[in-house]
Amino acid sequence: MVSLNRVRFAWIAPLVAGLAGAAAAQTVDFDERLREGQQLYTQGRYTDAEQLLGAALREAEREQLGSGLVARILDLRGQTEEALGNYVEAENVLNRALAICRQSAAPGNTSASAVATHLAELYLVERRPADAEPLLRRSIAAIESKGAGNGVPLAVNEADLAVALGQQRKFGEAEHLLREALKLLEAELGPNHPTLVGVLLPLTGVLIAAHRCAEAVEPAERAWQITRAAAPRIGDPDIAATLDTMGLVYWKAGRPQEAEVYSEQAVAVAEGVYGPDQRQLGWYLKNYAGILRQLGRKSEAKALDERAKAILAENARRSSGSRTVDVNALR
């Protein structure tokens, strides 16, 4: 399951800034730049976001604007590096942000929990559920200790924990957590909010992995309906992820003609977002190849499969064997 590119994670939990009055005027500009960086990230313009955040980080450190602001920049930059496939750099950046948050705020505060969640999501993309699980359990405990009014961050962390459990093939526990997270989000945001997609897609993945493909169709179709209705507020990375999931679930449910329509669109959107050699595109190509093979179009499938293997092998080499949370991560 991916961290969808980020219907689920587009929200950023508030981080404790801790900025002194003398720096307050300067931080207004940084707040605007962070909003711009977040928008670029959500749109899938990761290289642009990385450049903006890198420049902002250097300036914030040069002007000594405070550890809270540095942590905010590092947190978003870490997520951007992950989206670019730079997993080692993403881990270093997020660990630095987490250390700053833990040093400058009380244990269990929301900022440290948010950064820990993003670090855990990185581990999930890298297929490191044993590293992600303790971070997520601590974040959940910290959020629960704050009482009512924290349903959305709690649901996000529960969905991530479900992914970690699913990667360990604990499908029953994962499904239970995802359905609980879905109830929380529906209660707080309503039945058609885009954030629900970040739970519906992992639920689809869990059901597929548990060989309950017919049951997986409903949450996938609901996710697509929400995504389509929310456009253009949803970025292209999330649209590609939802399209890919629709192709995958129809394929596994024995409906390859319908699957091809969605998978072809997923690849087209992903190529526009990620370019020709990103890991996420590799997974979408691999799914598309499987669908074409089932349709008897073996030569087309072979060409796509070879391209997918080359992309995934190169990304594995770049990340030194490391690791969003995607439907494919349950495989």
pLDDT of 279? 85
Distance CA 99, CA 70 (A): 11
pLDDT over 80 at 270, yes or no: yes
pLDDT of 315? 78
CB 270 within 8 A of CB 240: yes
Least confident of 75-79, 193-197, 256-260, 319-323: 319-323
pLDDT of 278? 84
Tell me the residue range of the domain where 311 lies. 149-331
- pLDDT category at 26 given cuts 50, 70, 90 is low
Confirm whether 77 is domain-assigned.
no
* Number of alpha carbons in the 13 Å side-chain half-sphere of residue 99: 6
Confirm whether 238 is domain-assigned.
yes
The dihedral formed by the CA atoms of 323, 52, 94 and 319, expressed in degrees to the nearest 10: 20
Confirm whether 114 is domain-assigned.
no
pLDDT over 60 at 22, yes or no: no
The 3 state secondary structure assigned to the chain is CCCCCCCCCCCCCCCCCCCCHHHHHHHHHHHHHHHHHHHHHHHCCHHHHHHHHHHHHHHHHHCCCCHHHHHHHHHHHHHHHHHCCCHHHHHHHHHHHHHHHHHHCCCCCHHHHHHHHHHHHHHHHCCCHHHHHHHHHHHHHHHHHCCCCCHHHHHHHHHHHHHHHHHCCCHHHHHHHHHHHHHHHHHHHCCCCHHHHHHHHHHHHHHHHCCCHHHHHHHHHHHHHHHHHHCCCCCHHHHHHHHHHHHHHHHHCCCHHHHHHHHHHHHHHHHHHHCCCCHHHHHHHHHHHHHHHHCCCHHHHHHHHHHHHHHHHHHHHHCCCCCCCCHHHHC
Confirm whether 178 is domain-assigned.
yes
pLDDT of 137? 95
pTM for the predicted model, two decimal places: 0.82
Tens digits of per-residue pLDDT, 200-239? Answer: 999 999 999 999 999 999 999 999 999 999 987 788 888 9
The CATH number for 294's domain is 1.25.40.10
* Number of alpha carbons in the 13 Å side-chain half-sphere of residue 94: 24
Confirm whether 220 is domain-assigned.
yes
Confirm whether 90 is domain-assigned.
no
- pLDDT category at 323 given cuts 50, 70, 90 is very low
pLDDT of 30? 78
193 φ/ψ angles, rounded to the nearest 5 degrees:
-75, 140
Domain count, the chain: 1
pLDDT of 114? 87
How many percent of the chain have pLDDT more than 70? Answer: 85
Q: Please name the residues in contact with 34: beta carbons below 8 A apart, sequence gap of 6 or more.
A: 56, 72, 73, 76
pLDDT of 105? 62
- pLDDT category at 284 given cuts 50, 70, 90 is very high
pLDDT over 70 at 139, yes or no: yes
Distance CA 319, CA 126 (A): 9
Confirm whether 65 is domain-assigned.
no
Give the mean model confidence (pLDDT) for residues 180-194. 95
Confirm whether 316 is domain-assigned.
yes
**CA 308 distance to own-chain centroid:** 21
pLDDT of 60? 86
pLDDT of 120? 94
Radius of gyration of the chain (CA): 19
